[in-house]
Chain A
Amino acid sequence: MDNYQPIPARPAPVKTVGAVAWMRNNLFSSIPNSIVTILIATFLVQIIPPIVDWAILSANWTGTKEADCTRDGACWVFINAWSQQFFYGSYPTEEIWRINLMLVLLALVMIASFKLPKAIRMKASIIAWLALPFIGMAILDGRLLGLPVVSTDLWGGFSLNVFMAAASIIVAFPFSFLWALGRRSDMPFIRSVSVIFIEFFRGVPVLSLFFMGSVMLPLFFAEGTNVDKLIRVWLVLIFFMSGYMAEVFRGGFQAVPAGQYEAADSIGLSYWQKILLIILPQVIKVSMPNILATFVMLFKNTTFLLIIGIPEVVQTLQTALSNSYWLGGHAVEGYLFVFFVFWASCFGMSVMSRRIERKLNTDKRD
């Protein structure tokens, strides 16, 4: 009898690979599909050239004032002229380096949590993340660092959206983890407090929470204490966010098999060792896509802050639109700009979360 010989792998048949095959499979696989493909192609041919023309070819790129917008297309001069307002609000020009420093720190911490040597990465990046909102606050405010004080009324623009979102989610992270643990607790008191908290903040519209933060919350503080409006809104965002994230984490907890708890118990780990060393890393891994989705939601919700008069980016845009030197109707350019800035940030985060997911995915064989 012959010896068994493994059959070598052969390349796939030509018909199933290549651009032509792809088009046949995906665009013209049947008559209805071909019709839809042609209709969509015609539509795109109709719509794309005018948009390109308006936004790029006949757009106004250079200049400093409304009168410089002489051509038919978009007036990007408007964005250019107001860009400092859009990004930094009314923050004093000579102090803007502080906002940039805060953003650079944010980026550095982000990079550090990927690139630090493995031995210290976990500890160092957790401490850095948790300290970041408070350091950022100190830098922007300035009084603790002996810099000129910049009142929170002057903070604004897109950097404020970023700061509020980042500062809220970072602080909300540990809290939401505790709420999720509480909801799974065997102790009835802890469980019901957690359930009530989570369901309250998930069941109430975020706008009404903002109003509560700006109008009602001061009533609860002791007389004479005056807590800054931005801090109050920050608290509201933290509560709101931790309610949502608690549910994200609860889903993550349910995805960790009971055997993991039992194995941790069987080698004698204490409750907190078990939760922090074994369960939490696995919870974060399965929850990563939902954590990102929740964060993106919160980030975009920061534009609602304009309702209570906080000069975030949309608020500054509206101020710019009603400015008497710029009454030429630049709303389209303005809102497109806001769309783009938010979209680019969210897309960037989405790319980053995919990287984190890949990093956490240890299941692949070599």
Chain B
Amino acid sequence: MSVVKSAAAAEDVIVIENLNKWYGDFHVLRDINLRVKKGERIVICGPSGSGKSTTIRCINRLEEFQEGSLVVDGVEMIDDVKNIESIRRDVGMVFQHFNLFPHLTILENLTLGPIWVQKKPKAEAEAIAMKYLERVKIPDQADKYPGQLSGGQQQRVAIARSLCMNPNIMLFDEPTSALDPEMIKEVLDVMVELAEDGMTMLCVTHEMGFARKVADRVIFMDAGQIVEENEPEEFFNNPQNERTQLFLSQILNH
């Protein structure tokens, strides 16, 4: 395993051991092993269908798995509903298609979790929401509805919505794939800031510039397996595996 840049706290917040998952007969995840330390930033890339989204969706139990073990924040993810809900409160997730709640205003989108899950008073929840809206630089949109915002703004709201729950870990599932080129940067900027603040992040993305800039480790997946993992410089300049070389040549040379 490679050297880790920011091993300030050497505590593993995510431990995945021999994870296997099937959709019916189809073996989607094969012997996944992954340890993530507190504060570590990990970028997962790979061709479509390689299981990268499925892997991070297992971490907050949006997907179930059949074999292996998964420990998040010291809690083993088993079929216990209480466990799952408490883990979900600690793990924020940002989706490719934002998935904001279209019938609620931006502010209501952000305060929903703090009010209903964390049982905070409304005023406090709104103060938290405004703090994070300012952090993603759109406090002036608080009273609009998601449908009135651009894609980039919606994705920043989605990030703020996760942050309002004060998570220890943030999962990003292709956060910029559905955005127009002009809007990718504004979302990546927010993510870079978040990384600089020391958030533990797992990010499925094809933004290789982002990976070089903030990742401690880059993981390459293909056909449900982790093919290669390394720190970004080594990963991009000196990929070991033939499959990785082919993938990188395809996404970097166009």
Contacts and interface: CB of A to CB of B under 8 A. Distances in A.
Contact of B117 (A257, A268, A281, A282): A268
Residue from the set A257, A264, A285, A362 with the largest chain B CB neighbour count within 10 Å: A362
Contacts of B102: 282, 362-363
A260 B95 CA distance: 10
A262 B97 CA distance: 11
A277 B145 contact: no
A364 B88 CA distance: 32
A364 B147 contact: yes
Contact of A265 (B88, B92, B97, B158): B88
| 7 pairs of A and B residues whose beta carbons are closest in the complex | A363-B147, A263-B99, A267-B113, A362-B145, A259-B99, A268-B89, A266-B93
B101 A260 contact: yes
A366 B117 CA distance: 32
Contacts of B116: 269, 273, 277
Nearest to A119: B122
B62 interface: yes
Nearest to B85: A268
A15 interface: no
Interface string B29-69: 00000000000000000000000000000001110000000
A267 B97 contact: no
Query: Which interface residue of A267, A282, A364, A365 has the most chain B CB atoms within 10 A?
Result: A267
B103 A360 contact: yes
Interface in A281-315: 281-282, 285
A123 to B, nearest CB: 14
A267 B103 contact: no
A366 B145 CA distance: 10
Nearest to A366: B148
B92 A266 contact: yes
Contacts of A278: 101
Interface of B: 60-62, 85-86, 88-89, 91-93, 95, 97, 99-103, 112-113, 116-117, 144-148, 158, 161-162, 165
Nearest to A276: B116
B117 to A, nearest CB: 5
9 contacts: A262-B95, A263-B100, A266-B88, A267-B89, A267-B117, A268-B165, A273-B117, A360-B103, A362-B147
Contacts of A266: 60, 62, 88, 91-93, 95, 162
* Highest count of chain B CB atoms <10 Å: which of A257, A273, A277: A277
B107 to A, nearest CB: 12
B95 A259 contact: yes
Contacts of A364: 147-148
Q: How large is the interface on A (under 10, 10 to 19, 20 to 34, 35 or more residues)?
A: 20 to 34
A285 B116 CA distance: 22
Interface in A347-364: 360, 362-364
B132 to A, nearest CB: 13
Nearest to A361: B147
A360 B147 CA distance: 12
B85 A270 contact: yes
A364 B148 CA distance: 6
Interface string A125-139: 000000000000000
Interface in A36-56: none
B101 A263 contact: yes
A260 B91 CA distance: 17
B147 A267 contact: no
A285 B101 CA distance: 13
B103 A281 contact: yes
B82 to A, nearest CB: 10
Given A260-B101, A362-B147, 11 more contacts: A259-B99, A260-B99, A263-B99, A266-B60, A266-B92, A267-B92, A273-B116, A277-B116, A282-B103, A362-B146, A363-B145
Given A281-B103, A282-B103, A365-B148, A269 B113 contact: yes
Nearest to B145: A362
Interface in A317-359: none
Given A277-B116, A362-B145, A267 B88 contact: yes
Contacts of B145: 362-363
Contacts of A257: 97, 99
